[in-house]
A and B are shown apart, each in its own frame.
Chain A
């Protein structure tokens, strides 16, 4: 049985860190806050690993199936019998897997930040925010109730907002954090409505009951929900689609992805933690959590998910080829990889062999967390060294940053899907799942994986090769980051290299039964070959400093410009909001407010003031005048009462 104390402590320790450092950090733990936060998280990580070991190898498997355990369920707010917001801890394969990922990556980021943000003025604040984020992410992962997940969902959004805006004296960071918050908030509105529809249809907020009721065609709830339609789709479809919008917003799916590149204004370790490895996959996790509903009850929504994921994957990959800010390249790469996870879910079915996409998606989530965190932390090390985000300021750094160079290369190989690195295995599974279910998505995915290899190696060659820096530069630029920064890089590199050999299908699958993925070597030829072509193209273009890339860009002309400007999606948003919304709705509303509403208020105010001016004269302070009024009033009233209103 699950050890409740251990599981509950996993999210509570970071929360303790947040409270301790947030309240007293600046006063008492000015220098030790980083160590405190890291130690607490280390304890959390150990507990998470312990929980994972216990679950996967000791008690989790009952008759060949990984069961779902609800370790703890506290009713927090009860609306009516059966409908209550609970605070619970759910233990099943994906939540345990996420526990390990979140605590491990968070621990790496904590350690890394010790070096990266050394000497920062608001060091304790930074660590308290990290604690808050880790707490809410773990709470989200462990949520046993759809409303609990929503609460932690928003908490995650807030901590992301706080961390993106960490450099609050930088206007671009402030704009970015607002943008991230507003865009995801907008999507969360859909999520909330979806929650309400689903919970109304299911008559409960609890995941297990909800899934049970909405997936069995015999239950009353299912019949009612499927029967009630709105705009040609059943209530169930609407609910699921709206929940997916929430997930798409958080996971930066097209067209709600616009906040993610800007979110790179935050400190780089934060980008590694939140905007690469953990928070942005929350949408994927959400869909996976409700996967039975998506797959059994509303297969149409699953198709939407698949296409949204595929389109996001390819668009982001194309944009990533043209960006010069290395963090932005990584941001688009993240978006593209999450697109992979999304469409993997979209092409999956429930149970058995057909559930391969689900396993693949979770597997990719796991491996992606490793190599993407590694990429970001490596990029952080580079940025720390050259004090710039732009590729143009880099080049030939392999001699100056040897550890970073090797680990970055491993990560690039992993993401490009070169065997035997982690990305190869998970991506193969995804492609296999797509191949069996949807050929169109398969082709898109195949092309995207080729492009992925190209832009990652473009990044790699631009940073570490290309133009050579004179060796005298080494003396002026100082050393590579210290032990605190290198240690996470090495650990994550080991993960990125080896994580693929975990027999993931044994542990995580849509129905809990072990899934044995069949690898066909001939199937792997196409993606690996495409990946190698991408790498070679990048090698040819960027290995040495030359004018080939510029020529290519010029020859592509308008297309290049469109892609460089991210398909003008930001501009379209601006056009819609500024021109259409502001002019058609905002201006008339403002006019109405200014002239009618304010006018009414001013009128009331003015009338009151005039009347008051009149009445003020009555209050003269002359006692005898008061007496006269009084006497006159009494006489008038007496006459009225006696002679008129008898």
Chain B
């Protein structure tokens, strides 16, 4: 077992453990922090797969953006130290059973399936390649989805403003 393998197993264990903690802890702030660790773990796996750009984006957007946003909203809506309400036991059991069944089913399917790899030359996902491909307009280029995504982001921005505005007018 090489050092690389050990790193992978460590990262994977980190992800799964913190993910589990994140969905089970009864303190919401801790849940957010556990989620942060999970996301960092996934970024680590991207590094390990040598997709450095994606890993960077993962850290910048998720860790630096979304998690911070979540933590802010927790501050806005939650009294610190307050415990989360307990879910009903039957719901928990049912959810666990369904989830386990789904997980087992998926894994069985994955291990029964044989994946075929391509023989062609690999492209290194450098920032240069990604940038060229992202803005390419020829076949296989991603200029159109890129524009669509930018419009979506704009729409989300306006949507947030509108949602925020409405309550203001209502409270008047």
A628 at the interface (CB under 8 A from B): yes
Contact flags A348-367 to B (C-beta < 8 A → 1, else 0): 00000000000000000000
Residues of chain A within 8 A of B94, CB atoms compared: 628
Residues of chain B within 8 A of A632, CB atoms compared: 98
Question: How far does the alpha carbon of A448 sit from the alpha carbon of B91 in the complex, in Å?
Answer: 100
A639 at the interface (CB under 8 A from B): yes
Q: Does B105 contact A635, Cβ atoms closer than 8 Å?
A: yes
Other than A634-B102, A635-B98, A635-B102, give 14 A-B pairs with Cβ distance below 8 A. A624-B91, A628-B94, A628-B95, A628-B98, A631-B98, A631-B99, A631-B102, A632-B98, A635-B101, A635-B105, A638-B105, A639-B105, A642-B105, A642-B109
Within 8 A of B (CB), among A616-646: 624, 628, 631-632, 634-635, 638-639, 642
Q: A-contacting residues of B (Cβ < 8 Å)?
A: 91, 94-95, 98-99, 101-102, 105, 109
Q: Which residue of A lies closest to B106 (CB)?
A: A638
Interface SS majority for chain B: helix
Question: How far does the alpha carbon of A642 sit from the alpha carbon of B109 in the complex, in Å?
Answer: 9
Q: Which residue of B lies closest to A632 (CB)?
A: B98
Question: How far does the alpha carbon of A634 sit from the alpha carbon of B102 in the complex, in Å?
Answer: 9
Question: How far does the alpha carbon of A624 sit from the alpha carbon of B101 in the complex, in Å?
Answer: 18
Residues of chain A within 8 A of B101, CB atoms compared: 635
Q: Which residue of A lies closest to B101 (CB)?
A: A635
Residues of chain B within 8 A of A639, CB atoms compared: 105
Question: How far does the alpha carbon of A475 sit from the alpha carbon of B98 in the complex, in Å?
Answer: 107
Question: How far does the alpha carbon of A639 sit from the alpha carbon of B109 in the complex, in Å?
Answer: 11
Within 8 A of B (CB), among A258-305: none
Q: Closest Cβ of chain A: how far from B48's Cβ, in Å?
A: 31
Question: How far does the alpha carbon of A631 sit from the alpha carbon of B109 in the complex, in Å?
Answer: 17
Q: Closest Cβ of chain A: how far from B104's Cβ, in Å?
A: 10
Q: Closest Cβ of chain B: how far from A409's Cβ, in Å?
A: 89
Q: Closest Cβ of chain B: how far from A621's Cβ, in Å?
A: 16
User: Can you identify 17 A-B contacts, CB atoms within 8 angstroms?
Assistant: A624-B91, A628-B94, A628-B95, A628-B98, A631-B98, A631-B99, A631-B102, A632-B98, A634-B102, A635-B98, A635-B101, A635-B102, A635-B105, A638-B105, A639-B105, A642-B105, A642-B109
Residues of chain B within 8 A of A631, CB atoms compared: 98-99, 102
Residues of chain A within 8 A of B109, CB atoms compared: 642
Q: Closest Cβ of chain A: how far from B101's Cβ, in Å?
A: 6
Residues of chain A within 8 A of B91, CB atoms compared: 624
Residues of chain A within 8 A of B99, CB atoms compared: 631
Question: How far does the alpha carbon of A624 sit from the alpha carbon of B95 in the complex, in Å?
Answer: 10
Q: Which residue of B lies closest to A642 (CB)?
A: B109
Q: Which residue of A lies closest to B95 (CB)?
A: A628
Q: Closest Cβ of chain B: how far from A449's Cβ, in Å?
A: 93
Question: How far does the alpha carbon of A639 sit from the alpha carbon of B98 in the complex, in Å?
Answer: 13
Residues of chain A within 8 A of B98, CB atoms compared: 628, 631-632, 635
Question: How far does the alpha carbon of A517 sit from the alpha carbon of B5 in the complex, in Å?
Answer: 131
Q: Closest Cβ of chain A: how far from B24's Cβ, in Å?
A: 16
Question: How far does the alpha carbon of A628 sit from the alpha carbon of B95 in the complex, in Å?
Answer: 8
Residues of chain A within 8 A of B95, CB atoms compared: 628
Q: Which residue of A lies closest to B94 (CB)?
A: A628
Residues of chain B within 8 A of A635, CB atoms compared: 98, 101-102, 105
Q: Closest Cβ of chain A: how far from B37's Cβ, in Å?
A: 25
Q: Which residue of B lies closest to A638 (CB)?
A: B105
Residues of chain B within 8 A of A634, CB atoms compared: 102
Question: How far does the alpha carbon of A631 sit from the alpha carbon of B101 in the complex, in Å?
Answer: 10
Within 8 A of B (CB), among A586-644: 624, 628, 631-632, 634-635, 638-639, 642
Question: How far does the alpha carbon of A196 sit from the alpha carbon of B58 in the complex, in Å?
Answer: 83
Q: Which residue of B lies closest to A643 (CB)?
A: B105
Q: Closest Cβ of chain A: how far from B7's Cβ, in Å?
A: 34
Question: How far does the alpha carbon of A358 sit from the alpha carbon of B168 in the complex, in Å?
Answer: 92
Question: How far does the alpha carbon of A539 sit from the alpha carbon of B45 in the complex, in Å?
Answer: 129
Q: Which residue of A lies closest to B99 (CB)?
A: A631
Question: How far does the alpha carbon of A634 sit from the alpha carbon of B94 in the complex, in Å?
Answer: 15
Question: How far does the alpha carbon of A631 sit from the alpha carbon of B105 in the complex, in Å?
Answer: 13
Q: Which residue of B lies closest to A625 (CB)?
A: B91
Question: How far does the alpha carbon of A635 sit from the alpha carbon of B105 in the complex, in Å?
Answer: 8
Q: Closest Cβ of chain B: how far from A629's Cβ, in Å?
A: 11
Question: How far does the alpha carbon of A218 sit from the alpha carbon of B154 in the complex, in Å?
Answer: 87
Question: How far does the alpha carbon of A639 sit from the alpha carbon of B94 in the complex, in Å?
Answer: 18
Question: How far does the alpha carbon of A642 sit from the alpha carbon of B110 in the complex, in Å?
Answer: 12
Residues of chain B within 8 A of A628, CB atoms compared: 94-95, 98
Residues of chain A within 8 A of B102, CB atoms compared: 631, 634-635
Residues of chain B within 8 A of A624, CB atoms compared: 91
Query: Which 6 pairs from chain A and chain B are nearest by CB?
Result: A635-B102, A631-B98, A635-B101, A638-B105, A632-B98, A635-B105
